[in-house]
Structure 1
């Protein structure tokens, strides 16, 4: 009882701005459990967010494949399997999820399966090598992604039933801030004490430690109090999936949101090109550490700000973050191409740009998560999440072909191209409906 009182007081101090606690767009029975549910979900998201940093396919897993001697071609499959594999199946998974009155058990099981996949991945890295190690790691990553897709659909509805509207952005912002600080500490450690190039044990233990983070998140999430929700609309997975695609045709506000979200992928797709340009200037491990620190610092400093703003207007967050991401590239590319900075400042141009991009990407993520949560309730929310994530997953899978243009226009040209797409997304976001009011 004392712990519950303490959580109530802390919640009121950190989140509430008025004497009367907000309890909007959730069941009446869930109102008294909001503070405890808020902090349990923040803690669970922090743990999985840190785990995502430690198992990043662009860094940790890519290096791991090199250490175990896997064919270099396998590296190209890491990001598509991790990102698209967790999004594309959601259109079909949603049919089963929407038939469950409580979705918390699905998130818990999904989290535990992700932990099992990481443990198996660590064992594969430690016990095998070469082609076999690469195939086993990619197989474990596939299982990880499928479990991740279940969690992604389930958590949106759980948050929608347990956290009031105008407080969901703050929850995501707080979780992103804390996980960003922990990621910053990890990046600083990697800068100061980088592992040996062939230290397989380090990476195996890193995967085991990450698995324990998902186990801890499952334990925390199991304590979330969730009221039963809507279960209507079940049926054949294929038939239901096809009918949900019809949302893009029939639901104009949702269609506009999906197009906007697709164009604002520039904030995610631009990141590797800043790293590539930075490597052209300085290829040492200290530069890699600087990028890791910049990303962690950006998340920790900006997420709470974006979260609070998203609770007022997630549409405006998408607009401002999209403009920041799209206007950054022309400035950075211009300074790089024309070489107007002194050499000692030029090398820091890209970590600083990566920091600004991290702020923008954090805004896009918090804004679009809050927006889709507040657009609708019940199973319609589940359908929105499943359809939008599946479409974005398909686009991410096909985005690799866009990278073929790099040979023609270079990384700087790619940044300008993505910047143009992001600018169109920012302009389109101005036409989105306000969903917080």
Structure 2
């Protein structure tokens, strides 16, 4: 069984027989744990599942509008404050485990609110629980890159993350098909799906607690270390690139607006398109990131710009009516988004000094949290003109991000 596990890991990562049995065990735990959390993310997606739930429960539009900003900013902005505590731990895996437990408990609260509450109270409880979930996710994010760097060698990290993305996407595709079938139009099945997501987070926490991580030296609790942004020019450029490419995450709701008052089946087609994009591209982007994460960021930026420009073109031409048009564009956009996710994570892990990964990750994510709010405000301002204007602006920003990525230094591989 041990040899089988090592052989499977070697096949997935193309390790040329260099991986140890311990690395193979850790790689398996990484892939399964990440897959579980990514499936949970798909089941509790604020852009679709929670929005639909809150609307069905009679929550006011102002609370529904808070879902995505709370989720995204809450997952990024606290990271700088958490980095010092994470660096003070000898085994950083416990920070990730704690973050998973927090997400699981918050998801259970959301499921119970959906089953038992209505109106303002339901909406308020769900938004508050989502804030807890987002902060817990921040703890996972600020700790994970350091854990990955300690337990998986540089040239195999992208493959480990890519497998998790593709495997989890297959499960979310099943969920999307159920949504398209019309079976999930009632509150109860969706609330149960959120409860199932909670169970997946708890299971991931249990599995990851068994990761074989070597003890680290306890770092100082310097929670506001801005040295990298002052002294590392490549880090500044990387933050600028990642900030510009946040538009690939912000653009999908504007495609939904272009679709207008389409049936739930149309929305399900978009969920399916997004899931298929992740399933088909995550592993490929991961392997390409192992070769050159800089090129992945550039290609993703250009690809996202093309997809958003195409959405603008078909809308102005009046060709957005058929139910398949916007899901196809979303499919291309989500392929670009998956590339951004893979490239940015691997580039940061590879460029950061070994003893400063947590600080680099926390500072980058904190800055991106602020830039995300700024970019969201730009999109919100353009949306007063219409979703086409927002998408046109986002296309220009994505194009600029891809061009800026070409100027990043190629990090050393191996």
Q: Is the shorter-chain TM-score for this pair beyond 0.5, marking a shared fold?
A: yes
Q: Output one character per residue of 1:296-328: Cα deviation in whole Å (capped at 9) or x when no partner.
A: 111111111111110011001101111111122
Q: Which of residues 5, 8, 18 is equivalent to 1:7?
A: 5
d(CA) in 1 for partners of 2:230 and 2:220? 19
* 3-state SS of 2:45 partner: coil
Structure 2 match to 1:229: 216
For 1:88-99, list aligned pairs within 5 A: 88-99=77-88
Q: Which of residues 291, 302, 307 is equivalent to 2:281?
A: 302
Structure 2 match to 1:26: none
Whether the 8 Å contact between 2:245 and 2:401 is mirrored in structure 1 is yes
Q: Quick one: structure 1 residues 230 and 32, their matched pair in 2 at CA, closer, same or farther if it must change by over 3 Å?
A: farther
Q: Which of residues 234, 254, 259 is equivalent to 1:273?
A: 254
TM-score, normalising length: structure 1: 0.91
Q: Unpaired segments of 5 or more residues in structure 1? A: 23-30, 235-239
1:52 CA drift (Å): 0.5
Deviation larger for 127-136 or 256-265: 127-136
Whether the 8 Å contact between 2:379 and 2:394 is mirrored in structure 1 is no
d(CA) in 2 for partners of 1:261 and 1:342? 30
Q: Output one character per residue of 1:44-68: Cα deviation in whole Å (capped at 9) or x when no partner.
A: 1111101101101111111111122
1:232 CA drift (Å): 2.5
Q: Which runs of 4+ in 1 moved over 6 A?
A: none
TM-score, normalising length: structure 2: 0.95
Q: Output one character per residue of 1:402-436: Cα deviation in whole Å (capped at 9) or x when no partner.
A: 23323443111111111111111101101111114
d(CA) in 1 for partners of 2:81 and 2:99? 16
d(CA) in 1 for partners of 2:368 and 2:316? 32
Q: Output one character per residue of 1:231-285: Cα deviation in whole Å (capped at 9) or x when no partner.
A: 2322xxxxx343x2232121111111000000111211111112211237xx112
Q: Which of residues 309, 328, 341 is equivalent to 2:307?
A: 328
Structure 1 match to 2:336: 360
Q: Which of residues 127, 133, 141 is equivalent to 2:130?
A: 141
Whether the 8 Å contact between 1:165 and 1:436 is mirrored in structure 2 is no
Structure 1 match to 2:234: 253
Deviation larger for 115-124 or 383-392: 115-124
Q: Quick one: structure 1 residues 188 and 102, their matched pair in 2 at CA, closer, same or farther if it must change by over 3 Å?
A: same
Q: Unpaired segments of 5 or more residues in structure 2? A: none
d(CA) in 1 for partners of 2:259 and 2:193? 27
Q: Output one character per residue of 1:365-403: Cα deviation in whole Å (capped at 9) or x when no partner.
A: 011111111112433111110001111112223444223
Deviation larger for 69-78 or 156-165: 69-78
Q: Which of residues 346, 350, 368 is equivalent to 1:370?
A: 346
d(CA) in 1 for partners of 2:345 and 2:232? 18
For 1:204-219, list aligned pairs within 5 A: 204-219=191-206
Structure 2 match to 1:237: none
Q: Which of residues 242, 245, 251 is equivalent to 1:264?
A: 245
Larger Rg: 1
d(CA) in 1 for partners of 2:378 and 2:82? 28
For 1:26-425, list aligned pairs within 5 A: 31-196=20-185, 199-234=186-221, 240-242=222-224, 244-279=225-260, 283-339=262-318, 346-425=322-401
Q: Output one character per residue of 1:131-168: Cα deviation in whole Å (capped at 9) or x when no partner.
A: 22221111111111111111111111110000100111
Q: Output one character per residue of 1:197-223: Cα deviation in whole Å (capped at 9) or x when no partner.
A: xx3322321221110000111121112
CA RMSD of aligned residues (A): 1.7
Whether the 8 Å contact between 1:166 and 1:436 is mirrored in structure 2 is no
* 3-state SS of 1:58 partner: helix
**How many equivalent pairs are there?**
413
Whether the 8 Å contact between 1:310 and 1:366 is mirrored in structure 2 is yes
d(CA) in 2 for partners of 1:134 and 1:273? 23
